[in-house]
Structure 1
Amino acid sequence: MTMGGRVLVTGASGFIGSHLVKRLIDANQNVLVVGRRRPALEVEFLAAELDDSQALQAALTDVDVVIHLAGRAHVMRESHISPLDEFRRVNRDLALHFATQAKHSGVRRFVFISSIGVNGAVTQDAPFSELSNPAPHADYALSKFEAEQELERLFSGSDTELVIIRPPLVYGADAPGNFSRLLKLVRHGVPLPLAAVQNQRSMICLDNLVDFIMVCASHPAAANQCFLVSDNESVSTPELVRLLAEGMGRKARLLPCPDFMLRLGSRLVGRAAMYTQLCQSLVVDTSKAHKLLGWRPQTSAYDALRTVGQQYLQTKIR
């Protein structure tokens, strides 16, 4: 399904954005990229900050769809005195300024990539859905939730349609953050004390997310909707490690460790969030996307994780 008009993408030099722009180009879309850094692709590019009203006004001329991926995330070593203020400045305030320009320029649809963190960090008895009460668990998630609220107010009653997408962890061979660390540990055969973990995690592979973003940018029924999305299968952390190792042609090295020791150890080294990601459950209900848009993941989580392991190994042995 094509978008028809011109598509403007922010965050195109990032993990998700670079792959999305390539897919859009392959689909013969007319693409414009706006940001600080030119992506490593042959695409029309405008170097501009998202608070540069004059540059944005010119860039948004004749743009039909905006896909806003730019933001602050995966901060491994925080340097700001007030991280929340910086998350709000980038993820909320700049997004709102940019969206205001898009509205004034007559953009038909604004697609905002948010985060499952808006719903919370952990699921207990039921999966998260679009009807779940928001419970942002960290500065990043709170800034995304506040951005969602501001964007909904901005576009309410206007001719510009808003689509919000809340993906869980997005993985791929070149993924940033903790997933990149996990790939490295699996590749080097480092023993991981995760054999006894009994959880379920919803994630989404990069190709599935890019496909879903493209559907949301064009499907009439996506207008003014919020979607939770995933690979549709949840996997435990031990399964995740085994599938990555299988893709690398290696045997997963998993050791049993009591949950209380994992929890205590993560707190002692200041990595409580890592314990949450690796040991607790986060399950997403994607039925709205299936029913309203007819969307199904192109690749299963099991196949995608094996493929990611294989791709990661290939990039390291070249």
Structure 2
Amino acid sequence: MSILVTGASGFIGSWLALEHKNLVVSVSRNVQANSDFFIEDINRHTDWQTPLSGIKSVIHLAGTAHNRSGCHRKLLECDYEGTLKLMRDCGKYGVGRFVYISTVNVYSNFYSRHPFGVKTQLSPTTVKAEFCVSIENNLKEISNELGIELVIVRSPLVYGPNAPGNFSLLTKLVKKAPLLPFALVKNRRDFISVQNLVDLLIVCASHENAAGHVFLASDNETVSTREFIDAVAYGQGKKVLQVPIPIGLMRFFGRLIGKTRMIDQLFDDLEVDSSNISEILNWTPPYTMKEAMAMLRTEVK
């Protein structure tokens, strides 16, 4: 089976292309990346004929980068219009399956003690998540119209060596700070390592039972922020002392400095129900969190 992977120079895409280089065809917008195809930009005008030649499945990872300010236009052109154009071209050139990577930010009830599931009502919490919901809905329409198998994977925070975004900030904090104020944090959050996510995506692109399903990815290890930070420290070969600072005080300080959303992500729950992955795909994460975190010591400095 030939699988086309877009966004092959990104964090997840580069892992996927490296781990499964004999199985995938890679596409990147980075001319310096060691990809099979270079595409200057992804939008409603992109010509996918050559990259899609002989391809059976597409794993679509390309999108607007983390935390880019003023990115509404790019979200519209690349994430929305570019994704829909790619799926329509899949129908045009005989590709049978399209795997779309979405986000658990399509849910908003961070204070619920109930895990989010595939039947939970969507209520996106960010502009990018709003685009993801719209993209998911339109992809379902195109799937029905053109007969392309669609698989949607909603992912929580993805961690691993040289991960971008919030995880990068967290690893830097753990490296520099011998004391951290999270001893009292007992929330419940799900994460997924890049190693586990890449393995799951390959299964979603190839398993006969995956078609038409939505999956919520996770390591199947629900942990608190305190436990997650301890795991990061272990992965870096460090020890950190967690001190008992009242959570209400940290929330108050976070509001004062304009970091309410970041504080919410540290202290609120975000638990997902990934049980249908095991039931439908017979898949379990190949790496434990401890095993995946140990690979942080391989980070490129």
- Output the TM-score relative to the length of structure 2: 0.93
Aligned partners of 1:191, 1:198: CA distance in 2, in Å?
Answer: 18
Aligned partners of 2:231, 2:73: CA distance in 1, in Å?
Answer: 38
RMSD, aligned CA: 1.9
Matched, 1:14 2:10: yes
Measured at CA, do residues 108 and 256 of structure 1 come closer, stay the same or move farther in structure 2, by a change above 3 Å?
same
Partners of 1:114 and 1:164 within 8 A in 2:
yes
Aligned partners of 1:295, 1:276: CA distance in 2, in Å?
Answer: 31
CA deviation map 1:103-135 (0-9, x unaligned): 222210011011111123625121011111111
Partners of 1:245 and 1:309 within 8 A in 2:
no
Residue 37 of structure 1 is aligned with which of 7, 14, 30? 30
Matched, 1:311 2:298: yes
Partners of 1:197 and 1:238 within 8 A in 2:
yes
Q: How far did 1:192 drift?
A: 2.2
Q: How far did 1:155 drift?
A: 1.2
Matched, 1:74 2:66: yes
Measured at CA, do residues 56 and 212 of structure 1 come closer, stay the same or move farther in structure 2, by a change above 3 Å?
same
Partners of 1:9 and 1:32 within 8 A in 2:
yes
Q: Within 5 A, what are the aligned runs for 1:290-309?
A: 290-305=278-293, 307-309=294-296
SS in 1 for 2:180: coil
Measured at CA, do residues 247 and 34 of structure 1 come closer, stay the same or move farther in structure 2, by a change above 3 Å?
closer
The amino acid that maps onto 1:235 is V
Aligned partners of 1:50, 1:99: CA distance in 2, in Å?
Answer: 12
Q: How far did 1:161 drift?
A: 0.6
The amino acid that maps onto 2:103 is S
Identity of aligned residues (%): 38
Residue 245 of structure 2 is aligned with which of 252, 257, 279? 257
Q: How far did 1:53 drift?
A: 4.3
Aligned partners of 1:108, 1:279: CA distance in 2, in Å?
Answer: 42
Q: How far did 1:89 drift?
A: 3.1
The amino acid that maps onto 1:211 is D
Partners of 2:200 and 2:283 within 8 A in 1:
yes
Residue 257 of structure 2 is aligned with which of 266, 269, 291? 269
Q: How far did 1:264 drift?
A: 1.8
Task: Name the residue aligned to 2:153.
Answer: 165
CA deviation map 1:259-306 (0-9, x unaligned): 22221222222222211211111111111000000000001123323x
- Give the aligned length: 301
Q: How far did 1:144 drift?
A: 0.9
The amino acid that maps onto 2:280 is L
Aligned partners of 1:202, 1:54: CA distance in 2, in Å?
Answer: 36
Q: How far did 1:50 drift?
A: 2.2
Q: Within 5 A, what are the aligned runs for 1:1-318?
A: 4=1, 6-25=2-21, 28-29=22-23, 31-38=24-31, 40-41=33-34, 43-51=35-43, 53=45, 55-75=47-67, 78=69, 80=70, 83-120=71-108, 122-305=110-293, 307-312=294-299, 315-316=300-301
Aligned partners of 1:230, 1:22: CA distance in 2, in Å?
Answer: 21
SS in 1 for 2:50: helix
CA deviation map 1:27-51 (0-9, x unaligned): x22x33333214644x422334223
More divergent stretch after superposition (255-264 vs 235-244): 255-264
- Output the TM-score relative to the length of structure 1: 0.88
SS in 1 for 2:12: helix
Aligned partners of 1:204, 1:128: CA distance in 2, in Å?
Answer: 15
Measured at CA, do residues 203 and 54 of structure 1 come closer, stay the same or move farther in structure 2, by a change above 3 Å?
closer
The amino acid that maps onto 1:56 is W
Measured at CA, do residues 249 and 48 of structure 1 come closer, stay the same or move farther in structure 2, by a change above 3 Å?
closer
